[in-house]
Amino acid sequence: MNIQEVRVTNKFSLPDPRGEEILYEIKNALGINSVQEVRTTRVYRFEGISEDNALYLAKNLLAEEIFQICQVNAPVITGADVWLEVAYQPGVMNPEVASIIKSVKDLGIEDLLAADSSKEYFFWGQDISVDEIKLITDKLLVNATVERVVTVKPETLLISGQPGTTGTIAVRKMNDQELMQLSKDNLFLNLEEMRVIQNYFISIDRDPTDCEIETIAQTWSEHCGHKTFRAKLMVDGKEKKPLLKRLQEATIEAGHPLVLSAFVDNSGVMRFYEGQAICGKVETHNSPSAIEPYGGAMTGSGGVFRDVMGTGQGAKVIASTDMFCFAPPDMPAEVIPAGCLHPHYLLRRVVAGVRDYGNRMGIPTNNGSVHFHPDFRAKPTVIVGAYGLLPAERCQKASPQAGDVALVLGGRTGRDGIHGATFSSAEMTDMTITVNSSAVQIGHAIEEKRTSDAILEASQEGLIRAITDCGAGGYGSALGEMGEKIGVKVFLDRVPLKYPGLNPWEIWLSESQERMVLAVAPENMDRVMAICRNYNVEATAIAEFTGDGRLLVTYNGENVCDLDMEFLHNGLPQRVMQAAWVKEDYEEPQSPDIVFDSAAAGCGEVVNLSNVREKIYQAVMSHLNVCSKEPIVRVYDHGVQGSSVLPPFTGIFQDGPNDATIISPLLDKPYGAIISHGLNPVLNKIHPYHGSLWAAVEAVSNAVAAGANPEDLTLIDNFIWPFPDEESLGALDMSVDACVDFVKVTGMPFISGKDSLSSTYRGKDGTVLKIPPVLCVSVFGRIADVQKTVSSDFKYTGSQIVLLGERRICEMAGSVYYDLAGYTGSNLPKINLEKVNKVFHVLHRAISGGAVPACHDISEGGLAAALAEMCFGGNVGAEISIPAGENPEYFLYNETAGCFMVEIPDGMDAAELFAGIPYYVIGKTVEKLSVEILYEGRELFDVSLSSLKAAWQQPMKGVFRQ
């Protein structure tokens, strides 16, 4: 049957934003100057419709006549020196196509059989070489994991195929070598676990099906089973409680009165106001993002949104966060390990993925950070979070009852995401990007938005007994967990598919996105189905809960999986793991008086030390871990739900960064929800206990600096760690101890968390690169009155500037200042929890009492960076006096968490306001737009705000084209 082609592009008198972006990358990222112009078109193909109908769709659906032109079955751009077409690989989710098909049917065209879309790229320039086009294609246009260059027009758009038969795997007769060969590529289980599986099937006198072996592997994966966190731990020869148990017990012992649900649902839940609750979950999507950053980041956001949607009996997603760790974007290509993508490309595409999913769903992305270290060159850390609102009375899940129906809502099932759970549990190698490409998915945010709306209405009517998302492991995880206590029978032949030809086990374990599973009482089915039809959401009953304690999966009447739930969920042997951290000594400077030479400061010929110090200050502000991330933040819609109270940036020019975000989810009420976080991979490399304390203190400091009451905060942990060998596990043990100690001293509990223990790269030449260990601590809580909060920007001239908190300024290891001087150091900040907890409470009292117009916590870049950012926001200068006898550089650039820069009115008694905690009045705000630093009665240097801001804003402008 003929295929109709529609091409759409912007009018030639108008710019082509996508083409301009590609041209920018060609010149700046690849250094190719032969290309002078790039333009793009969208190509839409339709099978089964007439050319007249294709023209109708072109004019009424696909092209906007005000600024676009279109052609049917003809080129729309001609005369280019080079052109090529890029499309998704067959079977990869194309979210645009799903929307097009629905729109075509809404327009009354019923004979459409299939559709597809792609992009064409046209290049003009002098002597563009074949090698240059290949480089452009490989580095910018095509991620071979999910995309391809179209060389032959398709004869049909229909994906045909017949599902294979369910296979049997003869594990009962396998020796140990054969068991491990079976596990090697996709199961990622160890020999003991493979033997347990073997013995189970010996005991029931049969071999497993492929579906059964895959189901067990998914359920027992590190990603789903958290085997390391549940393991019996031997630390330096002494037994300690499992990591997860320690965190759970600390939360129970804290007995926080606001906690409604901790570690038992898709997200943690705390009490809000007026019968409402707020919930939070933070996830990682490191492995998928490492091989396809756009799709990986999109599905990371979509997945964590679904975690919130699947909390209790359904929650509304009200906020999103993103925390990223990359290698420097200007890292030379030759040092990137084999099989890994360049960090410049990773950063831009991950940001684009988070942007597109959150913005399209109408969820504000309003808190986050980006961190850089060369050792992330093999694999990034991509963390995404979501927060929700739901009635407190519906924050607990009910259990499915025998006879309840399992209903799947949302997207259809395809091959995307196969082995995602097991793949994410494995180390990365040079072959990961090729072997595990099927683990990547492309998200469809609009589908999830519709699904979310349908779930909220069903939840409000009390129609949902239980709900969960199809995350890692697909239906195997969702229905396997929902039916754990009761048993479930699944009918795979009822599952809506994207295309035919999937094997039963592939349907069962596919991680196709935008799918939610509901347990619904039979008498509520008709109403739930009516709600789904109203929102244009596909809903299908695919299973029923039985009461027999078994997982029975059928396909066309054949049993493809029949497992005892007790074995599936409790048969995994508890690991016994050895842990012993070995401290690595990092060089400290021989003298505490580091003075950069002119070359280190990047200032060429220098005639006096004052100039050197100005250049050092500018270098600190332009460091990748300090510089402004505004070009990233501005692509996210952080005000979309109309709830923003404290956005990411405020101040005179709206460029002063805030420490936390505050939203008002009940629009007619004064109540606020506050969100913040903290992490520092460099400090974790130096000392995992003190680095982890720093992360927790930094997370809470960010919230308290904005006005939060520390008694109204709860925490989320995310451990992103190298593969848990003995040394890395020893570091992880210390990190968990730090979290437990933090809870014990402050009373702030962890109520949700996640571990991702696969951040190790193994090269084919035997090289091993451990990605820096990351503990990200996220904070969310409630605020009774959003008017009693503050932003970071200075409000007045003549105000006093006060430094709060205990610092030992010689503890400089891991600081930006040390990094610029070429050191890591070992003497990192060591925080006294008892003292910092008191600082939190005293500062909150001062802010809530109205005495503090502005507050900013001290983190990367130290006091100097915090001071500059407050000045940027307020467009005022500052005059600072360093106490006599202190090392000026250490005083300015020490990065001890739990310390604050505070603005208070001139004449206010700081001693009375901050009684009982360390404080020091260090200066005042001034009209002159500069930062003047005085020491022992003389001026050390005086640097203009404009030069500091230029240094601070430039790095990300160089990565993200404005």
- CA dist., res. 737 & res. 743, Å (int): 10
- CA dist., res. 252 & res. 446, Å (int): 39
Say whether 87 sits in a helix, a strand or coil: strand
- Cβ-proximal residues to 654 (8 Å cutoff; 6+ apart), any chain: none
- CA dist., res. 752 & res. 281, Å (int): 6
Q: Which residue matches tokens 């600024």?
A: 67
Which is the catalytic residue, given 223, 373, 444, 677?
Answer: 223
Q: Report how far Cα 378 is from the mean position of its chain's Cα atoms.
A: 17
The C-alpha angle with vertex 445 and arms to 440 and 446, in degrees rounded to 5, equals: 140
Q: Which residue matches tokens 């339709």?
A: 46
Residue 162 among known ligand-binding residues: no
- CA dist., res. 230 & res. 933, Å (int): 52
- Cβ-proximal residues to 377 (8 Å cutoff; 6+ apart), any chain: 327, 331, 335, 336, 337, 340, 343, 769
Q: Which of 171, 218, 266 is nearest to 568 (CA)?
A: 218
Residue 241 among known ligand-binding residues: no
- CA dist., res. 96 & res. 43, Å (int): 12
Which is the catalytic residue, given 256, 285, 344, 687?
Answer: 285
- CA dist., res. 743 & res. 731, Å (int): 19
DSSP-derived secondary structure for 850-895: T--SEEEE--TTHHHHHHHHHHHHHT-EEEEEEPTTS-HHHHHH--
Enter the tokens of residue 195.
């033997």
- CA dist., res. 188 & res. 421, Å (int): 10
Residue 283 among known ligand-binding residues: yes
Starting at the earlier edge strand, list the strands of the sheet with 35-47.
68-72, 3-10, 35-47, 114-125, 82-88, 147-149
Cβ–Cβ under 8 Å, residues 748 and 713: yes
Enter the tokens of residue 633.
């933040």
| Amino acid at position 896, single letter | T
Enter the tokens of residue 809.
């300024």
Handedness of CA 386, 391, 393, 394 (dihedral sign): negative
Residue 654 among known ligand-binding residues: no
Enter the tokens of residue 213.
């072996």
- How far is residue 371 from each of residues 149, 614, 681, 950, measured CA to CA in Å? 34, 24, 8, 20
Cβ–Cβ under 8 Å, residues 85 and 38: no
- Cβ-based burial of 18 (10 A; exposed 0-12, middle 13-18, buried ≥19): middle
Residue 513 among known ligand-binding residues: yes
Q: What is the 3-class SS of 161-182, one letter each residue?
A: CCCCCCCECCHHHCCHHHHHHH
- CA dist., res. 147 & res. 139, Å (int): 12
- CA dist., res. 374 & res. 651, Å (int): 33
Residue 281 among known ligand-binding residues: yes
Enter the tokens of residue 134.
């290949």
Q: Which of 630, 664, 631, 635 is nearest to 649 (CA)?
A: 630
Q: Report how far Cα 518 is from the mean position of its chain's Cα atoms.
A: 26
- Cβ-proximal residues to 206 (8 Å cutoff; 6+ apart), any chain: none
Residue 441 among known ligand-binding residues: yes
Helices 343-361 + 293-309 axis angle, to 10: 40
Enter the tokens of residue 260.
């409604």
Residue 85 among known ligand-binding residues: no
Cβ–Cβ under 8 Å, residues 699 and 677: yes
The C-alpha angle with vertex 900 and arms to 897 and 906, in degrees rounded to 5, equals: 170
Give yes or no: 677 in active site.
Answer: no
Give yes or no: 226 in active site.
Answer: no
- Cβ-proximal residues to 372 (8 Å cutoff; 6+ apart), any chain: 325, 326, 327, 328, 329, 624, 625
Q: Are strands 919-926 and 938-944 parallel, antiparallel or unpaired?
A: unpaired
- How far is residue 33 from each of residues 127, 139, 246, measured CA to CA in Å? 10, 16, 58
Detail the residues annotated as belonging to a binding site.
281, 283, 306-307, 441, 469, 511-513, 717, 753, 756
Detail the residues annotated as belonging to a binding site for ATP.
281, 717, 753
> What are the residue numbers of the active site?
223, 285
